């Protein structure tokens, strides 16, 4: 009896099966779409966050900074360097009788190096002569 019914309605059955296939494949596509959008956003956010952390750490905690700050001693004549003390990850420096150009040059070098400037004092001591002190860490 069942086989007869199947035979009689085989066309409808074929359409029903293919329609079910269509419905399930549409559900699969829809759920894949939702899952992927959700995961993709989360994955991209994590990647961006990790890359941001790597950049920040490299910039503000780079291992080469201890060497890079040495240039702050050589950029002006040695007799103008009063103090250049590097201790652990901290630098304290003091200069005297710097010309305006030398102050500018030294300041530009300082801001080019990604160190944390905790203190900076530039004071005119005489006409076109300056004293400069700063403390930075990394």
Partner 1 sequence: MDSVSLKHNIEIILTPTFYTFIREELDIRFAYQAKQIAQSLFDDYLDPSREYQYHVSKSNGAWYFYAYDIEEIEAFIESKGIEKHRVSKIYFAQELSEELTQPLQVDTQMALQTIEGIITMIPLSLMESDVEFKTLKLEDLKLKNGVSMGASHTSLVSLKETILLSSLFLILGGTFIMEGYRIQSSTAEDESELMRLLDDNPTYGSSMIRESILEKYQPIDKLERQKRQSIKDISKLLSAKSELKALHIEKSKISADISTSNNNIIKQIQKSAKETNLKTSISGNSVKVERSL
Q: Which residues bind partner 1 (CB under 8 A)?
A: 1, 3-12, 14-15, 17-19, 21-22, 24-26, 28-29, 31-33, 35-36, 39-40, 43-44, 46-47, 49-54, 56-57, 59-61, 100, 103-104, 107, 111, 114, 116-124, 128, 130, 134
Q: How far apart (Å, rounded) are the C-alpha atoms in residues 107 and 121?
A: 11
* Closest approach of partner 1 to the CB of residue 44, in Å: 6
Our CB check for partner 1 shows the closer of 87 and 127 to be 127
Q: Please state the φ and ψ torsions of residue 121, each to the nearest 5 degrees.
A: -130, 120
H helix runs in 62-121, sequence order: 65-68, 71-74, 100-112
97: exposed, middle or buried (C-beta count within 10 Å: 0-12, 13-18, 19+)?
Answer: middle
Tokens of 91: 């630098």
Please, what is the minimum distance in Å from the beta carbon of residue 97 to partner 1? 15
CB of 129 to partner 1, least distance (A): 11
């Amino acid at each position: 009896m069942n086989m007869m019914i199947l035979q009689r309605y085989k066309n409808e059955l074929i359409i029903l099966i293919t329609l079910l296939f269509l419905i399930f494949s549409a559900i699969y596509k829809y759920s894949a779409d939702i899952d992927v959008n959700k995961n993709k956003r989360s994955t991209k956010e994590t990647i961006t966050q990790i890359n941001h952390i790597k950049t920040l750490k490299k910039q503000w905690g780079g291992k080469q900074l201890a060497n890079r700050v040495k240039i702050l001693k050589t950029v002006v004549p040695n007799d103008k360097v009063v103090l250049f003390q590097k201790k652990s990850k901290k630098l304290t420096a003091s200069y005297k009788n710097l010309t305006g150009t030398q102050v500018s040059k030294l300041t530009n070098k300082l801001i080019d190096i990604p160190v944390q400037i905790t203190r900076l004092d530039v004071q005119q001591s005489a006409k076109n002569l300056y004293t400069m002190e700063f403390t930075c860490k990394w």
